[in-house]
A and B are shown apart, each in its own frame.
Chain A
């Protein structure tokens, strides 16, 4: 079956630190990959996506590259801000069926 494995949290970093949240996946076929973010008190929001191997998704300073050879989609940001504190979910879908399979989420806290 399809599954997503995310880095265990919580993660606490100082402002301006470099961020990596690891995500690996197992899928039958060729998935599209996503990072969703959930800010406190808000719904899930799409942060970025990549639909084929070697694609790089980027948004708000965050980046993730679809690595087929390592079945990974790690989230990175060069300099985090307090406002990035949230829960981050890695997810996948398969073409023709857009139901999302999510990882367990990683809670990120940025301290000033």
Chain B
């Protein structure tokens, strides 16, 4: 297993277009998280899944954002009608939920630039 994989690594899009990012977690991990990181800031939580169920969404996740994890494996994050303010690094992380283990493993991120 090579860890958490995110594709694409970079995406440049015009304002108003839709974009979709993919995250492949570590294979036995049942939890998957999406975060957004803007320049000079720490990552901010967007949403997370346990298996295929989306359990929590941040207020940051406007109705233009949607995330899915249809079979409890990979996940997609779609942004509709992109705005310049959506430009950021989008990070995916996965973990195996248990009583003892709370470590999340991060992918390298997808950098989105909206022009």
B91 x A100 contact (CB < 8 A): no
Residue count of chain A within 8 Å CB distance of chain B: 23
Please tell me which one of the listed residues B31, B102, B105 contacts residue A32 in the complex, with CB atoms under 8 A apart: B102
Interface of A is mostly: strand
Which B residues from 26 to 47 make CB contacts under 8 A with A? 31, 33, 35, 40-45
Residue count of chain B within 8 Å CB distance of chain A: 24
Given known pairs A99-B56, A101-B45, A102-B42, the reply for A44 and B106 (CB within 8 Å) is yes
Given known pairs A43-B4, A46-B103, A51-B102, the reply for A100 and B45 (CB within 8 Å) is yes
A91 x B42 contact (CB < 8 A): yes
B103 x A49 contact (CB < 8 A): yes
Interface flag for B95 (CB, 8 Å): yes
B44 x A102 contact (CB < 8 A): yes
Interface flag for A104 (CB, 8 Å): yes
A-B pairs with beta carbons under 8 Å apart, 5 shown: A89-B43, A97-B56, A98-B95, A100-B93, A102-B43
Instruction: Enumerate chain A interface residues (CB-CB to B < 8 A).
Output: 4, 6, 32, 36, 42-46, 49, 51, 89, 91, 93, 97-105
